[in-house]
Amino acid sequence: MADRMLGKVAIVTGAGSGIGRATALLLAREGASIVHSDLSEQASAETQKMLEGTGAKSAALAADISREDTAARLVELALERFGKLTTVVNNAGTGTNALVAELSLAEWDRVHGVNVRGQFMLIKRALPELIKAGGGAIVNVASVMAEVTDYGLAAYCSSKAGVAGLTRTVALEYGKHGIRCNYLMPGPIYTGMTRANFDREEIRQVWEKKTALRRLGQPEDMAKVILFLASDDAAYVTGAGIRADGGLMLRS
Ligand SMILES: NC(=O)c1ccc[n+]([C@@H]2O[C@H](COP(=O)([O-])OP(=O)(O)OC[C@H]3O[C@@H](n4cnc5c(N)ncnc54)[C@H](O)[C@@H]3O)[C@@H](O)[C@H]2O)c1
């Protein structure tokens, strides 16, 4: 079946790489029209070319999701090109690594600016259009780090826990309009963000062994869960956080 997103218009952020790119391609193959964005102009152009290969309608906007005008530009592009907005995948994300006493305020703000403030701004701008469309679905990409932590990850963990709280509140406030809002908690996924680490044999093996399934996740593994949450298959799922981590978190 390849029609689970037929008639939907989706914005996917951070679609120049990894989970975002795989999601844009899968939603397109399932019939959605796609507006996608990324910080990198070149990566955006590559994704656009791939989307054109699927035959789906798509439009790209290279922009920084932490800027205040980006959300409005993305939503306007969707309306202008495809007449409505039904789906938002807030995927763009970034990290940093510093112990708390060494973590600068600028880094704290940069990480939160992308990971949670960026999601908030797009949701805020998208909500009136989702209501006009008669309902819709928002999928926010968090991380298993929304629930646990590791050394150096204060800003990242705090921002991803923020995504969980934001998601639950949007789900509660807008459910009556037929808007569902859920979040995904990926585990160790082989993407642009993690490639340098996971290409080191000794690091990859450690993470593979930590998962019950004994492998790293691939972007497509995440895209399939996002498709489920974005599609009508998840019609009665809202405010939920779905762990997709190969069983990483099963034991302490
Ligand atoms: N890879 C993992 O193991 C993993 C685990 C848990 C959560 N995540 C989350 O998954 C999401 C996608 O990450 P990925 O692993 O596919 O990494 P990735 O680096 O392959 O892709 C992230 C994309 O987001 C873009 N981006 C970064 N900052 C941006 C900004 N300010 N504005 C617009 N675009 C921006 C990057 O240019 C990049 O193309 C992120 O939110 C990340 O935190 C990833």
3 state SS of 70: helix
Let me know if 156 is a catalytic residue.
yes
Across residues 19-48, what is the average pLDDT? Answer: 98
pLDDT at 80 over 60: yes
CATH 3.40.50.720 fits 9-190+219-242, yes or no: yes
Q: What percent of the chain has pLDDT over 90?
A: 99
- Integer CA distances (angstroms), 51 to 21, 34, 58, 80, 136, in order: 9, 8, 7, 19, 22
d(CA 14, CA 3): 24
**226 CA → ligand 1 middle, Å:** 14
Q: Is 238 left (phi over 0), alpha (psi -120 to 50) or beta?
A: beta
pLDDT at 1 over 70: no
Across residues 184-212, what is the average pLDDT? Answer: 98
pTM over 0.85: yes
- Structural domain boundaries of the chain? 9-190+219-242
pLDDT of residue 181: 99
Best of 19, 74, 107, 226 for a ligand 1 pocket test (most atoms within 8 Å of beta carbon): 19
Over the stretch 91-124, which tens digit does the pLDDT of each residue have?
999 999 999 999 999 999 999 999 999 999 999 9
Active-site option among 151, 156, 174, 190: 156
- Nearest CA-CA partner of 217 in 247, 252, 251: 247
Over the stretch 124-143, which tens digit does the pLDDT of each residue have?
999 999 999 999 999 999 99
pLDDT of residue 252: 81
